[in-house]
A and B are shown apart, each in its own frame.
Chain A
């Protein structure tokens, strides 16, 4: 290299393509791979290296076989983390991802963005329908990953599950099996609604059938983070309190000292759950009631087991459509909120309160794991403008925590409020009249 005559062009110091430029979205390519020669194209299109590969090689053909007899007729055992073979009754459980991949460890050492294989970006062109060739009879078995992860061969009755993660990002790293059984969920929903009947919409009460509750696996990203935050603002301490004037003109006045307050905190978070479907992540209560499903968080995600589609037999599922980069703003927002909660106790001396004016977040490292979490959902569609509103009553499939939205009979509630208001007004008028 010593006889090199023309030096290689150097990167610009400022402007496009320099470190001063806004960095591109990770995963985006400035050139179209399709127009490049094959070796370059192969390299560009090769999958990004994954820090933690959670794919189970033994399940790649879609068949989950009983380790004892080899049958594929496998179901989750209700209320447990076990799988049971319907032929020989053999029971076994999946490996907890926490130990299998070391997810609980070294949070304060986290650097950069670590993505488990099931949390990788979703292939935009991947179809929802996945086809398997049955090894027993040669038939083709199709699974629709929009709402199911398992299907049965019509000819030989083998059960297939979508276990291959590279397919389309539909397959998560881990699944947390249902523990709350359907009867239990029905009872909790019934109890929730029984306490809210007086002003409930008449049609809702008439059609209320909690037995129609559905067990759904909802997609989440479970995030660990290592971050630092700074907040700055003003705090006030009361120095004097006194009154001026007499009788009805008596007024209270305050003197106070104003302080500039700065705080810094380094912290880690363990297993923060973020909805990874756009619809579920939208918590705008004017247009939906997804905040109900959000409220039943958190789950005991430490007990999640390695992905195995057999855990989904008998349940439906929703597909993830958000990648890590989509969710990063929400993660940062939540990390800032956590930091603000952490510093609150350090500003107690400001008895007139504090007003934070600036905040700053440094995310040193994050780890993302894609997980299916178990939720019992009872839904009721209330007709109305703009397609009405879908109300949910949700039961956490692990803890049983229940929350719901019961549609209100508007006129009944207004009447009750006006009646009480009228009574109060009558009392007020009587007092005013009596004292004048």
Chain B
């Protein structure tokens, strides 16, 4: 690799997001509803905790036996008449899919439910190969029209106010300005119907792949994945290696936790179970089914005991909804496909710590994400681990090293600690008023930009304790 992408400057991105009044208003409006919906439907299930444990257990079992389940999946899909392709990285996956399109003279492609294809930047490659690619899920479609990337795992356009979407449709589709979401959805549906009818290839993601039967499972609410997989001649499904489940019986657990965690629904509107391409005598379904199984850094993650369980992730987005940092920053600030707490773990793992060194630090470790994760990923623990790795590999900024170094020096003995306190008391004489300090110098100036700092007490606790021990009780 010669041209490395530049470092993600999350701190600057966040500051820009905070100044973006429209983004702040939109996130402030959209996120509480998502959180409440989830909390309400989760509270309905007394067995929620045991469902989480079961799901985490199944995922861990899969991860411990991953290669054999993947082989089983491959042989089942092949036996059904599908073709399985293995892609070690993004470039290989792009090449497989663009070659498929090219060799079959595909000009028009529809897509649905495919975060993994965002990960491998597939659209640009297909367009370069001469195909027209249209996202068919409403949110993804809007994001594509706007030339942006999704900002949320399951609500890709959550960052954009309806008025902006209305303007975008006027500009890009030449339609009158509709303001109501239902009207906008109708406009998109009309455009997309024509695309479905004309498409020769449909590309989707995969929520779960069942090893014992070779069934691909796609969970959605709009029905676009169903059209994408049923109408075009060729269906290409792209999945990360971690999406495999052993048995059909495992699916019920995941369907329950995914819908409730993701959208706060008891069940999603559509669940498509696709078992092989069209058989003789069937009236719909693709003539060709291709399954692309993608590694792209996942096997490296699997071999990493500190981060392995991040591969349990079922991409529900609950951690993003719950994370106060994500809610203020928005998904784009994370500068990568995956945002929020799970993104802060996956991006450094997939794209390198050097590029993503700020991401694991963008958390107060409040653990709200761990509380809602339906597969019990210890996201805060992983963030701490990634921080430690950043420090060990010399990626910690100079300021952090200085602050922690000084702190540790003064905390090594009570005498030094008290000395630090005394020095501080001496220094604060100039700046402390009424027990508060309104402006601290660098490197602490960020604190007083947003809140007053407390002054050191005139008498530390231990001096009080000493005098108390000496005097009467």
- Do A and B truly interact? no
Interface residues of A (CB under 8 A from B): none
